[in-house]
C-alpha cells in the first residue's frame, strides 16, 4: 500500500530569545525538536513528548507552553523565550539564582522547565501562598522530588519581586 | 583541612543546570548525526514469521531498516566475570540476532533516517507477522510454573517452631506492583565510530562498565570503546545495566557509516530499561507479651523474566533490623514473559521494609503497644545475622529526634480517634535502614601554578551531588577554596570508578579523591605552609599530578555497616471520598558524616517524595492479554506532583563512621526511600482502622 507522502520541508523563521532564526524543517518537526536539534538550544528538555511532564516548557509571547505539543511551523512570528534566554549578560535571572540557592534541583533535567514555569507563574500572579505555588507548578514533574525546595525558591523570587 | 566538608555548599553544577548549559546524552550531536526509531514487538512470546520492510525502506530520508534478517551476527563475547549489575543467572537480550520474541515491546527493527520524524514515520510502515506462542503474562500463571529458588533461604534458630509457641503472632501477605523508574531524562545513546574505535554518549550510571559491555558485544578490545556521560537526568537504577538500545545505537552507526542517536520514547522506557518487580511477601511475627520478638519469618516471591533471574535484597531487613533469635527468610522467583526487572532506588530493601514495618505495626496493635516502643524493645545492638558489631548506629537518636520533631507523643493510640474537621487523622512510623557498601575506586588530582586544581574520576552524578561533594572533599584536603577546584566525572578516559548505585559513591570515590589529593600534596611536600606555586617552582614544573587507587580493607569482616533512619508520617483521609493526603513527613537519619547538609537534605526530601509515590500512587497497570503495561506514560502512571507534597522535614543524627571508611560517610540516597511507604501505610491504618496491605493505597482501596 502506498501511503500519501507528507510534504517534506518548509521554510520558516522562528524568533527565539530575541533573535530571528531562519530554518528549513520537516513540516512535522515540533517546536521542541526544532529548538533542540536544529537550533541546538538543548536547555529545553524532552521528557515525554506528550505534554505530560513539563520538561519542555518555554514562553510563547510571555505565556508558558509545552514545546512538544506544538509544531515549529505554528510558531513562526511568535516570541519564544527558552531557558537560554533568561540570563542577561551572564547574570542569572532571579528565579535561576533562587533555584541554585535553595537547591531546587537534583539531576537538573526538569529544571529548565520548572524555571520557565516559575517565571510565568510570577507574571500570572499565582504565588499568593505556598499551596497556590504547588498547585500551579504541578504541570512540571520532578522525579528526584525537589518540590519542597522548588517552592522555597519560587517563594523567595516572588517575595523579592513584590 | 580547609573545612569544606560538612558545609551546606550550593551545588557546583547548579549554574550549568539552571541555565540549560548542562548537556545530557542525547544533546551531544556529532556532525551528520542520524536518527533512529524502533519497532517493538506486539506479542509477548513467539517468533517473527515474516517482515515487510519495503515501504519503510522507500520512505523519505530512510538510510537503513535493520532487523534480524539483515543485521550482522554480533560476537557477544562471554564475560570471564559477569558485571555485578547483571543478573548472575541467564543471558541478556541479544538484539536483532534471531526471530525469537521474548516480551511485548522487544525491539525487533530499527529505522535510521535523516530526521526523527522520518524515522518514526518509516518505523510505522514496517509490517510484522508473528507466530505467537502461549505466554505467561500473569504472576499467578508464573507461580503455577514452579517458582525458582532465586535468592534461596536463610535460617537463624528455629523460626517455624518459635512462631508456633509464640504468645502473640501476626501473619499477613503484602503486595507491591511493578513500578517504573521514570527518570525525567529518557535513556539515550549517541554512537560515533572512527575506524574500529567507538565513542558513546550514553545515559548510564557506570561509564566503565558500559564500555566493557559494548566491547564484549562487538568483540572489541575494551579500550576501543569510550563512554561519555557528564550529566544523568535521574536514573534511580535504570542506568545501572547496559540495555539493548545501546547496542542498537552502535550497530546502526556501524551499518550506515554515520553517527546516530537513539532516544527512547517515554512508552519505550516501560519495556527497555527494567522496572521494580511485582513482589508478594509473607511476614509472620511471633512475640512475647512484653513485645520481644521470638520468631520472624519473611518470604518473598518476585517476578523475573524468562531469560534472566533478577533477584533483590528484599529479605535483608528481616535478618538485621531487629533482635530476634529465630529468623527464617525464603526468596522465590516467578518467571513471566516480560522484560527483565532491575534495581530501582533502594531495591528490595525499600519493599522488604514495607512488609516488615507494616507487620511490626500490626504486631504493635496485637500487643496494644506503642509502635515506637515496640521498635525500641527489639533494638538490635549488633548485626545478629552476621554476628558482627555495627561500625556505627545512631538509630536510637533517630527515633528520639524524629519522634520529638513530629510530636509522636500526641498520637492517640486507637484507630479513628484523631480528626481534623471532616478528615480522619493518622500517625504512622517506620524504621529505615540500608547497607553501606564500599568498592574500589580511582581518582587523580592535579594542582597548577595558578593555585587551581583539577580532580578526576569516571564517577557519575545522577542527582545526589557527586560533583559538589567531591569538590568539597578535594578542596578540604588540598586546602583550597571551592572555586579553585574543578571536579570532572563521567568519562572512561578518567580514572576508573565503581557503579553509581547502592549509595556507594561517597564512600568509594570520595575516599579515592581524598587519597589522590593527599598523594599530590605529599608529592609536592606541600604541608609546610608553602603555596602550591612555590612548591611547583621548587620542583621545576608547572603542574603536579597524583593518582590514587583505594580499596576497602577488612572492615566489613570486623563490622557491619548500615545507614539508619526513623520515619514519621501524618495522613489525612477523607472518609467520604477515600482521598489520602500526607500533610507532613519527618525523617531522622544516621548516615555517618554528612559531607554536604544541603544536598544530603535534598536526597532525603526526594526519597520522601518517591516513597509517597510508592505508598499512594505508583503502579504499572498490567494487561495480561498482551503482556503489556497499559499506562506507559506520565499521565496515567501516577508520580507525585508538587501539589501532592506537604511539609517534609529532614534531621541528621550526628555521626562520623571512620570504622567504615576514612571519610566517615555511610552514603545516602537509597536510605531516603526506605521506611516512607510503611510509615504512610501505618498512618492510613491509624486514621481509618483499615489495614491495607497492597500498594499503592488508592482511594478506591480506602473506600471499599
Q: Measured between alpha carbons, how far is B77 from A157 in angstroms, rounded to an integer? A: 55
Q: Measured between alpha carbons, how far is B617 from B478 in angstroms, rounded to an integer? A: 46
Neighbouring CB atoms inside 10 A of B136's CB total 22
CB B1 within 8 A of CB B457: no
pLDDT tens per residue, range A60-103: 999 999 999 999 999 999 999 999 999 888 899 999 999 999 99
Q: Residue A89 burial (CB < 10 Å; 0-12/13-18/19+)?
A: exposed
Examine residue B106 and state whether it is found in any structural domain, yes or no: yes
Contact list, A107 vs chain B (CB under 8 Å): 183-185, 231-235, 462-463
Return all residues near B400 (Cβ < 8 A) that are at least 6 apart: none
Using the Cβ of B11 and the Cβ atoms of chain A, whether some distance falls under 8 Å is answered with: yes
Contact list, A47 vs chain B (CB under 8 Å): 184-186, 266, 634
User: How many CB pairs below 8 Å do chains A and B form together?
Assistant: 191
Same domain, residue pair B336 and B423: yes
Rounded mean pLDDT, B551-566:
96
Q: What percent of chain B has pLDDT over 90?
A: 95
Same domain, residue pair B601 and B640: yes
Same domain, residue pair B205 and B87: yes
pLDDT tens per residue, range B157-172: 999 999 999 999 999 9
Best of B13, B52, B184, B236 to mutate (most A CBs within 10 Å, chain A): B184
Burial profile B445-478: b = 16 or more Cβ within 10 angstroms, e = fewer: bbbbbeebbbbbbbbbbbbbbbbbbbbbbbbbbb
C-alpha cell at B242: 547496559
Return all residues near B582 (Cβ < 8 A) that are at least 6 apart: B569, B570, B571, B572, B612, B616, B644, B645, B646, B680, B683
Of B551, B580, B597, the one marking the end of a domain is B551
- Work out the pLDDT band at A4, boundaries 50, 70, 90: low
Which candidate in B140, B555, B670, B700 is catalytic? B670
Place of cell 514533574: A141
Q: Measured between alpha carbons, how far is B203 from B272 in angstroms, rounded to an integer? A: 13
Q: Residue A68 burial (CB < 10 Å; 0-12/13-18/19+)?
A: buried
Using the Cβ of B664 and the Cβ atoms of chain A, whether some distance falls under 8 Å is answered with: no
Same domain, residue pair B257 and B347: no
Q: Measured between alpha carbons, how far is B27 from B80 in angstroms, rounded to an integer? A: 34
The answer on pLDDT for B504 being more than 80 is yes
* pLDDT in the model for residue B1: 53
Same domain, residue pair B362 and B385: yes
C-alpha cell at B465: 551531588
CA atoms within 13 A on the CB side of B183: 30
Rounded mean pLDDT, B119-129:
98
Examine residue B156 and state whether it is found in any structural domain, yes or no: no
pLDDT tens per residue, range A11-52: 999 999 999 999 999 999 999 999 999 999 999 999 999 999
CATH code for the domain in which residue B346 is found: 3.30.365.10
Contact list, B62 vs chain A (CB under 8 Å): none
Return all residues near B365 (Cβ < 8 A) that are at least 6 apart: B685
Same domain, residue pair B301 and B393: yes
Rounded mean pLDDT, B141-161:
87
Examine residue B171 and state whether it is found in any structural domain, yes or no: no
* pLDDT in the model for residue A7: 60
Instruction: For helices A111-124 and A147-161, give the axis angle rounded to 10 degrees.
Output: 40
Neighbouring CB atoms inside 10 A of A162's CB total 7
pLDDT tens per residue, range B424-441: 999 999 999 999 999 999
Same domain, residue pair B229 and B290: no
Instruction: For helices B349-367 and B597-616, give the axis angle rounded to 10 degrees.
Output: 70
Who wins on pLDDT, B194 or B83? Answer: B194
List the domain range (segments joined by +) for residue B360. 279-437+557-703
The answer on pLDDT for B692 being more than 90 is yes
Of B520, B551, B582, the one marking the end of a domain is B551
The answer on pLDDT for A6 being more than 60 is no
Examine residue B58 and state whether it is found in any structural domain, yes or no: yes
* pLDDT in the model for residue B80: 84
Q: Which fold has domain A94-161?
A: DNA polymerase; domain 1 (1.10.150)
pLDDT tens per residue, range B314-345: 999 999 999 999 999 999 999 999 999 999 99
Q: Domain count of chain B?
A: 3
Asked whether this chain's domains A9-85 and A94-161 adopt the same fold, the reply is no
Q: What separation, in Å, do the N-terminal and C-terminal C-alpha atoms of chain A show?
A: 62
| B10: nearest CB among A33, A101, A112 | A101
The answer on pLDDT for B526 being more than 80 is no
- Work out the pLDDT band at B704, boundaries 50, 70, 90: confident
The CATH classification of domain A9-85, taken from the options 3.30.70.1140, 3.90.1150.10, 2.40.160.40, 3.10.20.30 = 3.10.20.30
- Whether B373 is catalytic is no
CB B63 within 8 A of CB B256: yes
Same domain, residue pair B443 and B344: no
Examine residue B146 and state whether it is found in any structural domain, yes or no: no
Rounded mean pLDDT, B377-393:
98
The answer on pLDDT for A5 being more than 70 is no
Same domain, residue pair B630 and B689: yes
Rounded mean pLDDT, B493-522:
96
Query: DSSP E strands: which ranges in B414-538?
Result: 418-420, 423-435, 441-448, 453-456, 485-488
The answer on pLDDT for B592 being more than 60 is yes
Same domain, residue pair B403 and B260: no
- Work out the pLDDT band at B527, boundaries 50, 70, 90: low
Q: Measured between alpha carbons, how far is B548 from B440 in angstroms, rounded to an integer? A: 11
Same domain, residue pair B398 and B388: yes
Name the phi and psi angles at B39, rounded to 5: -110, 125
Of B534, B551, B568, the one marking the end of a domain is B551
- Residue spans per domain, chain A: 9-85, 94-161
Examine residue B139 and state whether it is found in any structural domain, yes or no: no
Same domain, residue pair B570 and B692: yes
ipTM of this predicted structure: 0.97
As a whole number, the mean pLDDT across chain B is 96
The answer on pLDDT for B305 being more than 70 is yes
Rounded mean pLDDT, B116-129:
97
Nearest Cα residue to B366 out of B447, B468, B283? B283
CB B279 within 8 A of CB B351: yes
Examine residue B14 and state whether it is found in any structural domain, yes or no: no
* pLDDT in the model for residue B84: 87
Examine residue B1 and state whether it is found in any structural domain, yes or no: no
* pLDDT in the model for residue B582: 98
Contact list, B55 vs chain A (CB under 8 Å): 1-3
Amino acid at each position: 500500500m502506498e501511503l500519501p507522502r507528507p510534504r517534506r520541508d518548509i521554510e520558516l523563521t522562528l524568533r527565539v530569545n530575541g533573535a530571528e532564526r531562519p530554518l528549513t524543517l520537516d513540516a512535522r518537526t515540533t517546536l521542541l525538536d526544532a529548538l533542540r536539534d536544529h537550533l541546538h538550544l538543548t536547555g529545553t528538555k524532552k521528557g515525554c513528548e506528550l505534554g505530560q511532564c513539563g520538561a519542555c516548557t518555554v514562553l510563547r509571547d510571555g505565556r508558558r507552553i509545552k514545546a512538544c505539543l506544538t509544531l515549529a511551523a505554528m510558531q513562526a512570528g511568535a516570541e519564544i523565550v527558552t531557558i537560554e534566554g533568561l540570563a542577561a549578560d551572564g547574570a542569572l535571572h532571579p528565579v535561576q539564582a533562587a533555584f541554585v540557592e535553595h537547591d531546587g534541583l537534583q539531576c537538573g533535567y526538569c529544571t529548565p522547565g520548572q524555571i520557565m514555569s516559575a517565571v510565568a507563574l510570577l507574571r500570572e500572579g499565582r504565588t499568593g501562598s505556598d499551596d497556590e505555588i504547588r498547585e500551579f507548578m504541578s504541570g512540571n514533574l520532578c522525579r528526584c522530588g525537589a518540590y519542597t525546595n522548588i517552592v522555597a525558591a519560587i517563594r523567595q523570587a516572588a517575595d523579592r519581586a513584590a | 583541612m580547609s573545612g569544606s566538608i560538612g558545609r551546606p555548599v550550593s551545588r557546583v553544577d547548579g549554574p550549568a543546570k539552571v541555565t540549560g548549559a548542562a548537556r545530557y546524552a542525547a544533546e551531544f550531536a556529532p556532525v551528520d548525526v542520524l536518527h533512529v526509531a524502533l519497532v517493538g514487538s506486539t506479542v509477548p512470546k513467539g517468533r517473527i514469521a515474516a517482515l515487510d520492510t519495503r515501504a519503510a525502506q522507500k520512505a523519505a530520508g530512510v538510510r537503513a531498516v535493520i532487523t534480524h534478517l539483515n543485521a550482522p551476527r554480533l560476537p557477544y563475547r562471554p564475560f570471564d566475570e559477569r558485571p555485578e549489575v547483571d543478573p548472575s543467572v541467564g543471558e541478556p537480550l541479544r538484539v536483532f540476532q534471531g526471530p525469537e520474541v521474548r516480551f511485548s515491546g522487544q525491539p525487533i527493527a530499527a529505522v535510521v533516517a535523516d530526521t526523527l520524524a522520518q524515522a518514526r514515520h518509516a518505523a510505522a510502515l514496517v509490517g510484522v507477522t508473528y507466530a505467537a506462542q502461549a505466554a505467561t503474562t500473569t504472576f499467578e500463571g508464573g507461580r503455577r510454573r514452579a517458582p525458582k529458588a532465586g535468592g534461596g533461604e536463610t535460617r537463624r534458630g528455629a523460626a517455624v517452631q518459635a512462631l508456633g509457641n509464640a504468645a502473640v503472632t501476626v501473619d499477613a501477605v503484602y503486595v507491591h506492583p511493578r513500578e517504573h523508574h521514570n527518570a525525567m531524562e529518557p535513556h539515550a545513546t549517541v554512537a560515533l565510530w572512527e575506524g574500529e574505535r567507538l565513542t558513546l554518549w550514553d545515559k548510564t550510571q557506570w561509564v566503565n562498565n558500559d564500555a566493557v559491555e559494548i566491547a564484549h558485544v562487538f568483540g572489541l578490545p575494551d579500550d576501543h570503546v569510550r563512554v561519555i556521560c557528564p550529566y544523568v537526568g535521574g536514573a534511580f537504577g535504570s542506568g545501572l545495566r547496559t540495555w539493548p538500545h545501546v547496542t542498537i545505537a552502535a550497530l546502526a552507526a556501524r551499518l550506515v557509516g554515520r553517527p546516530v542517536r537513539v532516544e527512547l520514547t517515554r512508552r519505550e522506557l516501560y519495556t527497555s530499561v527494567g522496572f521494580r518487580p511485582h513482589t508478594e511477601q509473607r511476614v509472620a511475627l511471633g512475640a512475647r507479651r512484653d513485645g520481644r520478638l521470638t520468631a520472624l519469618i519473611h518470604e518473598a516471591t518476585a517476578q523475573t523474566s524468562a531469560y534472566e533471574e533478577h533477584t533483590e535484597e528484599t529479605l535483608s531487613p528481616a535478618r538485621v533490623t531487629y533482635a530476634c533469635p529465630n529468623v527464617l527468610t525464603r526468596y522465590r522467583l516467578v518467571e513471566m514473559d516480560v522484560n527483565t526487572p532491575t534495581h530501582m532506588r533502594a531495591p528490595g530493601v525499600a519493599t522488604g521494609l514495607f512488609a516488615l514495618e507494616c507487620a511490626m505495626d500490626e504486631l504493635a496493635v496485637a500487643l496494644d503497644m506503642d509502635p515506637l516502643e515496640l521498635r525500641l524493645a527489639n533494638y538490635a545492638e549488633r548485626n545478629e545475622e552476621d554476628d558482627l558489631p555495627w561500625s556505627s548506629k545512631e538509630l536510637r537518636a533517630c527515633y528520639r529526634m524524629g519522634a520529638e520533631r513530629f510530636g509522636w507523643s500526641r498520637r492517640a493510640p486507637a484507630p479513628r480517634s484523631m480528626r481534623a474537621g471532616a478528615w480522619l487523622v493518622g500517625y504512622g512510623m517506620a524504621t529505615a535502614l540500608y547497607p553501606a557498601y564500599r568498592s574500589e575506586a580511582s581518582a587523580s588530582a592535579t594542582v597548577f601554578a595558578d593555585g587551581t586544581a583539577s580532580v578526576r574520576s569516571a564517577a557519575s552524578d545522577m542527582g545526589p551531588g557527586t560533583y559538589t561533594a567531591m569538590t568539597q572533599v578535594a578542596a578540604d584536603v588540598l586546602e583550597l577554596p571551592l572555586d579553585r577546584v574543578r571536579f570532572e566525572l563521567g568519562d572512561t578516559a578518567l580514572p576508573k570508578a565503581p557503579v553509581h548505585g547502592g549509595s556507594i559513591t561517597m564512600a568509594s570515590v570520595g575516599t579515592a579523591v581524598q587519597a589522590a589529593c593527599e598523594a599530590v600534596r605529599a608529592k609536592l611536600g606541600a604541608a609546610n605552609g608553602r603555596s602550591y606555586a612555590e612548591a611547583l617552582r621548587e620542583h621545576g614544573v608547572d603542574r603536579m599530578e597524583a593518582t590514587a587507587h583505594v580499596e576497602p580493607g577488612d572492615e566489613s569482616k570486623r563490622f557491619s555497616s548500615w545507614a539508619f533512619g526513623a520515619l514519621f508520617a501524618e495522613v489525612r483521609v477523607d472518609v467520604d471520598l477515600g482521598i489520602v493526603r500526607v500533610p507532613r513527613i519527618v525523617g531522622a537519619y544516621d548516615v555517618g558524616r554528612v559531607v554536604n547538609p544541603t544536598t544530603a537534605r535534598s536526597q532525603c526530601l526526594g526519597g520522601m517524595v518517591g516513597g509517597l509515590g510508592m505508598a499512594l500512587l505508583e503502579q504499572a497497570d498490567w494487561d495480561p492479554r498482551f503482556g503489556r503495561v497499559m499506562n506507559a506514560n506520565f499521565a496515567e502512571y501516577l508520580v507525585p506532583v508538587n501539589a501532592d507534597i506537604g511539609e517534609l522535614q529532614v534531621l541528621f543524627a550526628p555521626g562520623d563512621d571512620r570504622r567504615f571508611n576514612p571519610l566517615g560517610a555511610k552514603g545516602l540516597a537509597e536510605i531516603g526511600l526506605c521506611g516512607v511507604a510503611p510509615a504512610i501505610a501505618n498512618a492510613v491504618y491509624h486514621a481509618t482502622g483499615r489495614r491495607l496491605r497492597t500498594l499503592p493505597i488508592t482511594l478506591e482501596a480506602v473506600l471499599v
